[in-house]
Structure 1
Amino acid sequence: MKQKMIKTGLASALALVAGMGAAQTQSDLVIGMQLEPPHLDPTSAAAGAIDQVTYSNIFEGLTRFGPDGSVNAGLAESWDISDDGLVYTFHLHDGVSFHDGSALDAGDVKFSLDRARGEDSTNAQKGLFAGIEAVEVVDPLTVKITLAQPDGNFLFNLAWGDAVIVATESIEDIKTNPVGTGAFEFSDWVQGDRIEITRNEDYWGTPAKLESATFKFISDPTAAFAAMMAEDIDAFSGFPAPENLPQFDADPRFKVLVGSTEGETILSTNNAQPPFDNAKVREAMAHAIDRQAIIDGAMFGYGTPIGTHFAPHHPDYVDLTDQSAYDPDLARSLLSEAGYGDGFSTTLKLPPPSYARRGGEIIAAQLREVGIETEITNLEWPQWLEQVFRGKDFGLTVISHTEPLDIGIYANPDYYFQYDNPEFQELMDDLQVESDPQARSEMLKKAQRIIAGDYVNGFLFQLPALGVAKTGVQGLWKNSPTQAIDLTGVSWAE
């Protein structure tokens, strides 16, 4: 095992053409993103900003998501599955090296998966690996994984950023100096400003077209707009100021990318904290929320209302929005039935994204109309992770869960919103071993109805993928099947 306003006039037009011509020869890219990652180890934190920087660019897994959400080969060029669905034998690409020059082998795969599923694992998605019974090295390029029971999602699970392959020799410094096998190498991190990556000249697969790329952190929506209009950056993934998109769309220097994400945006509720341990209170709160007003006010019309934790573009989605339709009178009645006729007070802790901060203010006003007072606290990302996600010290929060097909998180009573329903847990266990597509579809529909009926969280909207780029930039993902700013296929138009 080894280790950046078009003016009228000919002069302006010529300047524009000249500028575009210059862009054609560019080999670097500056891309904006709103959140700075807390560190760069995708296998030990829930922060999606980590995957935005590292997924495919720096780290790779045995399988990987394509821009259409398909699961494709990654470090494994092929695999065999036993007839009983319990044994997966992966055949690794030959000649793969980590950025430090050491060779990738089956031992690295075993180390990575054993680390992810170990007792002391800090992997945010440890449950993805719970079904693994054993990982065995067959030879340097072959690894055998035995499951305790069949899992129809296993190849899908291995495509998550939490399942990338790392090496023992570089694991100690992975948070600040990530060493992977991807098409780019980590170069520099100026905290509070940017992360730089450079092309991996020894990449085993199709080499990146860009020589280098810079992820520029711009948290303020107004600053993001100014930076794009000034052409200080070349693109912005997850553009935080949707109200400005029509201006970019009307400007020939730019193109607007509007797609879908896997991000269910929810008013996440601490189910173990009174009064939210009372389902009737949660139901009242759901009817106090006007989803469309939130979408219009926080997202300027971008976003699809949801009534459960499931992506509307998925073929098994069930539209349950009517079950929690906006009805403040009903909300007040339900609160009275639950013993809170005079209302109550709680906390609303908001992370940095604009959908959360803007949406949180609107939600607070809506809840106030039915007697629920919220104390808003704006948290930076590390604070949110510490207080809310890990510490479970919150009443309400607004967050978008961007992991693909992640309804299974509701089967974990220790997850931060602390929902504990044995029926749901059993259903997820059954889903894991079910291979029949029709049966799986019915189970997923039932799962959606259970959590909607329990009003576990306030289900708000599916987060859209909103991006802006200079017209010469090509190859950026329009949709976001996982949290990634995959630059491996990005280039400037020739």
Structure 2
Amino acid sequence: MPRGLTMFERFLLAAGLLAVAAAPAAAAGDPILAISGQPETLDPYNTNTTLTTAVTKSFYEGLFGFDKDLKVRNVLAESYESSPDGLVYTFKLREGVKFHDDTTFDAAAVKANLDRVLDPENHLARYNQFNRIKTIEVLSPASLRITLKEAFGPFINSLAHASAAIISPTALKKYGKDIAFHPVGTGPFTFVDWKQTDYVKGAKFADYWQAGFPKVDTITWKPVPENGTRAAMLQTGEADFAFPLPYEQAKMLESNKKLKIEVHASIIERYLSMNVLQKPFDDLRVRQAINYAINKEALAKVAFSGYAFPAQGIVPQGVRYAHKMDPWPYDPAKARQLLKEAGYANGFEATLWSAYTTTTAQKAIQFLQQQLGQVGIKVQTLALEPGQRTEWVQTAPDPKTARVRLYYAGWSSSTGEADWGLRPLLATEAWPPKLNNTAYYSNAEFDALLAKALVSTNDAERAELYAKAQEIVMKDAPWAPLVTEQNLYATSARLSGVYVMPDGNIDSGEIAVAQ
């Protein structure tokens, strides 16, 4: 990252014309991937951050994974069968696979990992993803049976999520909680070093089970919070991959023949949550007013340079069981009228936090500040650093004293279906510190619909249940759904085998560089 730049240097940097002197140019066979921030851990079971799991996938694999279209594919599991009632799953595992520490991958290793996340004393972030598991039985070194407490439609999708990685049981015993700093998996790269705020580095795993991979000697993930800096690193050859890119520089970067620019649809939705336990956001009319006060089309243009469009509901299109709905119309007059009816004819003051410090997020909250100000809502904005986000929002112990009010955030349903786009964000069980219901929203009918959908094995019934649930949230308005963004990233011309998935995760398993 740049140090002590003058205003003129910052201008050149934003334009991609100033070289960044923070790191040497990428060497052949040693690609550098510039990303928007640092992982908070290298334990895939203890994060809710897509960026973190993108990094941990260098070292870890699960029974299943997703392809670039979020379709489930076999990885460490060769196949599975499920009982007609959806309660019992039997897995055939891949044989001949080794962990980085030479431990053999087998059914006992899978059981050890699931037992760990299911132990509530471990307080792992992904506990709720797996807590419907009743028993785990090792049938043989290459076969495993999992019985659920109740049918759980998204179970295989949950196992395909990057957080469902299989960690070496030997390493788990050796490192305990410090496994967060010593990843040992079956993935294409072994762990070399993690210099926090600077880089995470992996080296080629010589005994990797997929023949011919990995195709590079090392991989380096470099956190670069400033959009313009990531773009500049691409142009100077100091990075081979950058995501996300500054939307406003897309056209300029496209003209660089040394780069390949990619634009793809995403399932990343940006939203503004409102703490419904606190005044004035406990009043539906205030929440409705905030929805009417925001011009989503303009937000897409101002903060995302047109690489986004108004959200079409609570769960974005492209996610299974997403229910398409019309965005809230932009109507500031209606917003002012609703505020008057709620007793806030002169508006009110509030705080607006962003979950991110990226320049795009800064633009977004500045735009929201301006829009809300036009209807009399005066907000102070703050982009939270990772530590602040964890302490002030994600781990707030008491809902009554939680400091969050208006919160700009985003989510992608990384399991590819609607449950993970609704339950972690809006269910009563998902209030922090358990999950991410930063609105502290609670609706018994909504919760019941989700619970019924989870145990249903009928596809049409699940679609209907999820549609009703999404309509309830839109009516109750604990959020202002804002935009669904597009994934914009770039690679150097020499790089291949890296792509950004619809949920914003990054797949680098087939990364290669032309010599």
Q: Fold conserved (TM > 0.5)? A: yes
Q: CA separation of 1:62/1:175 partners in 2, compared to 1, >3 Å: closer, same or farther? A: same
Q: Residues 235 and 365 from structure 1, CA distance in 2 versus in 1: closer, same or farther, beyond 3 angstroms?
A: same
- SS of 1:137's partner is strand
Cα distance in 2 for residues equivalent to 1:162 and 1:416: 22
Map Cα deviations across residues 283-329 of structure 1 (whole Å, 9 max, x no partner).
1111111111111111111012114221223464433234x111111
2:434 corresponds to which residue? none
Which of residues 224, 229, 235 is equivalent to 2:235? Answer: 229
Aligned positions of 1:37-186 closer than 5 A: 37-55=39-57, 57-171=58-172, 172=176, 173-186=178-191
Equivalent of residue 375 in structure 1, options 369, 375, 380: 380
TM superposition shift of 1:354: 2.9
Structure 1, unpaired ranges of 5+ = 1-21
Residues 65 and 481 in structure 1, CA contact (< 8 A), matched pair in contact too? no
Of the three residues 373, 390, 412, the one matched with 2:428 is: 412
- SS class of match (1:265): strand
Contact 1:265 1:461 in 2 (8 A): yes
Q: Is the 8 A contact 2:35 2:243 kept in 1?
A: yes
Partner of 2:491: 469
Name stretches of at least 5 consecutive residues in structure 2 with no aligned partner: 1-24, 397-401, 432-436
Measured after TM superposition, the shift of residue 441 of structure 1 is 1.8
Which residue, out of 328, 332, 344, partners 2:348? 344
Give 2:422's aligned amino acid: I
Written as runs of structure 1 = structure 2, the 5 A alignment for 1:304-453 is 304-314=309-319, 316-322=321-327, 324-350=328-354, 351-391=356-396, 392-404=402-414, 405=417, 406-409=421-424, 410-413=426-429, 414=431, 415-453=437-475
Map 1:22-37 onto structure 2 (within 5 A). 26-37=28-39
Instruction: Please give the secondary structure, in 1, of the residue aligned with 2:268.
Output: strand
How far is the alpha carbon of 1:490 from its aligned partner? 1.9
Q: How does 1:239-250 map to 2 (within 5 A)?
A: 239=245, 241-250=246-255
Q: 1:121 and 1:357, CA in 2 relative to 1: closer, same or farther beyond 3 A?
A: farther
After the TM superposition, list the runs of 4 or more consecutive aligned residues in structure 1 that deviate by more than 6 angstroms: none
Query: Whole-Å Cα distance in 2 between the matches of residues 180 and 217 of structure 1?
Result: 22
- Residue range with higher mean Cα deviation, 268-277 or 456-465: 268-277
- 1: CA distance, partners of 2:196 / 2:55: 14
The AA in structure 2 aligned to 1:186 is F
Q: Which stretch of the first structure deviates more once superposed, 61-70 or 345-354?
A: 345-354
Q: Assess if the C-alpha contact under 8 Å between 2:273 and 2:438 holds in 1.
A: no
In structure 2, distance between residues paired with 1:122 and 1:65: 26
Contact residue 103 and residue 170 of structure 2 kept, 8 A: no
Contact 1:45 1:122 in 2 (8 A): no
Give 1:471 shift: 1.9
In 1, the alpha carbon distance for the partners of 2:143 and 2:321 equals: 35
DSSP-derived class of the 1:358 partner: helix
Q: 1:274 to 1:169 in 2, by over 3 A?
A: farther
Partner secondary structure for residue 268 of structure 1: strand
Q: Measure, in 1, the Cα distance between the counterparts of 2:125 and 2:428.
A: 12
Structure 2 distance, partners of 1:465, 1:120, is: 38
Q: Write the deviation string for residues 365-403 of structure 1: whole angstroms up to 9, x where unpaired.
A: 101111111121222122112211222421112111123
| CA deviation after TM superposition for structure 1 residue 262, in Å | 2.5
Amino acid at match of 1:134: T
Query: 5 Å matches for 1:190-205?
Result: 190-205=195-210
Residue type at the aligned position of 2:116: R
CA 1:367–1:213 in structure 2 vs 1: closer, same or farther (change >3 Å)?
same
**How many matched pairs?**
468
Could you say what secondary structure the match of 2:151 adopts? coil
Specify whether residues 462 and 111 from structure 1 end up closer, same or farther in structure 2 by C-alpha distance, changes over 3 A only: same
- 1:264–1:311: 8 Å Cα contact kept in structure 2? yes
User: What is the Cα deviation at residue 212 of structure 1?
Assistant: 1.1
Q: CA deviation at 1:244?
A: 0.8
How far the C-alpha of 1:121 sits from its partner, in A, is: 4.1
8 Å CA contact retained: 1:51, 1:483? no
C-alpha offsets along residues 393-425 of structure 1, whole Å, 9 cap, x if unaligned? Answer: 211121111233322222234233211011011
Calculate the TM-score normalised by the size of structure 1. Answer: 0.90
Distance of 1:237 and 1:336 partners within structure 2: 43
Counterpart of 1:250, as a letter, is S
